[in-house]
A and B are shown apart, each in its own frame.
Chain A
Amino acid sequence: MEDEIRTLLHEAAPQPSDPAAFRMELNARLSAIEQIKIYRDREYHRSRRILQIVFVTGVLLGAVLALLVLFFPLDLSNYSLFDISDISKSNAAQFILMSFGVITAACAIVLPLTLSRHHHSRFIDF
């Protein structure tokens, strides 16, 4: 009986139509995927470069601002953290510079890390 079923099914095996058209459609789909892959890789490398530039610029800017503050030290003895009304005019500029330097350097480190994580999750992993 087994041989009978085998012969019967072999004889009745359907012939898929137009293999060339099937292959053509498949190739079109595969090349579309390739295009997406190329686009994804290009975007990935572009974003990586931008993040690296942001990182280096931020660190450099932070360092320059920190050096500026170091060369022109701020006298912190006369004011508290919550009351900056007594900062003299000369110290105010340095205070702003120092704060800006710290914030820039922090952003330069935190932002690329956060963005790169987000960037990885945005793309389909082929």
Chain B
Amino acid sequence: MVSAEQEPLRRFLLSLCGDPAEADDIAQDALVNAYVASGSFRGESRFGTWLFRIAYNIFIDRQRRRKLPTGPLEEGARALADGDTPDAAFRHEALHRAIRRLPEKERAALLLFYMEDRPIKEVATILDIPASSVRVYLSRGRQHLKALLE
């Protein structure tokens, strides 16, 4: 279960915070916390949803504690587009830069729904908000992203 969720979790966190080291650190913490608290997993949601929620909470907690916007925008976006062809890298860099300019909830909702293909109900569980709020965040996020990319 952990192996199956490890890659999507790292990808999501990497897109969310933009810093590979920070993303991996959060992913490690989330997996360790999930392991330690596995006894309290009641199976009300999928294991992956529960794990993503733990990771997202750690991300929020770290952001609040450190109050850092997770590294410079340009550098982070370039790191995420690293390894692509020059043309794709240019487009992807612009996209990641735009994503990172989005408000945190909109960013997380967009990444979970579009990039990780999670259903709205799961996104709501992970972000700990009602499904109707997820729809609002997705709608706003799409508009913001469009505006930022134009």
B27 proximity list for chain A (CB < 8 A): 22
Are A16 and B95 in contact (CB-based, < 8 A)?
no
Q: Are A1 and B142 interface neighbours, CB within 8 A?
A: yes
B53 CB to closest chain A CB (Å) equals: 19
B120 to chain A, nearest CB (A): 12
- Do B142 and A2 touch across chains, with their CB atoms under 8 A apart? yes
Find out whether the CB atom of B81 lies under 8 angstroms from the CB atom of A17.
no
A26 interfacial contact with B, CB 8 Å: yes
A8 contacts which of B32, B36, B83, B95 (Cβ < 8 Å)? Answer: B95
Interface residues of A in 1-45 (CB under 8 A from B): 1-2, 5-6, 8-17, 19, 22-23, 25-26, 29-30, 33
User: How long is the Cα–Cα vector from A26 to B15 in the complex, in angstroms?
Assistant: 21
Contact B92 A22 (CB under 8 A): no
B7 & A5 in contact (Cβ 8 Å cutoff): no
B side interface size, CB within 8 A: 32
Main secondary structure of the interface of B (DSSP, over half): helix
The one of B36, B117, B146 in contact with A33, judged by C-beta atoms closer than 8 angstroms, is: B36
Q: Which of B1-50 contact A (CB under 8 A)?
A: 6-7, 10-11, 14-15, 20, 23-24, 27-28, 31-32, 35-36, 39
CB-nearest residue of chain B to A25: B28
Query: Across the interface, do A33 and B32 meet the contact criterion of CB distance under 8 Å?
Result: yes
- Nearest-neighbour CB distance to chain A for B25, whole angstroms, equals 10
Q: Given A14-B14, A19-B6, A26-B31: A9 and B111 within 8 A (CB)?
A: yes
Complex-state Cα separation, A8 to B11, whole angstroms: 15
Contacts of A19 in B (CB 8 A): 6-7, 10
Complex CA gap A58/B90 in Å reads 78
Q: Known contacts being A5-B145, A22-B24, is A13 close to B36, with CB within 8 Å?
A: no
Interfacial chain A residues near B95, Cβ < 8 Å: 8-9, 12
Which residues from chain B contact A2 at a C-beta distance below 8 Å?
114, 142
In contact, A23 and B6 (Cβ under 8 angstroms): yes
Interchain residue pairs A-B with the least CB separation, the first 5: A16-B10, A12-B92, A9-B115, A14-B80, A9-B114
Other A-B pairs beyond A6-B115, A22-B10, A22-B28, 18, CB < 8 Å:
A9-B111, A9-B114, A9-B115, A12-B80, A12-B92, A12-B95, A13-B15, A14-B96, A16-B7, A16-B20, A17-B20, A19-B10, A23-B6, A29-B28, A30-B35, A33-B32, A33-B36, A126-B39
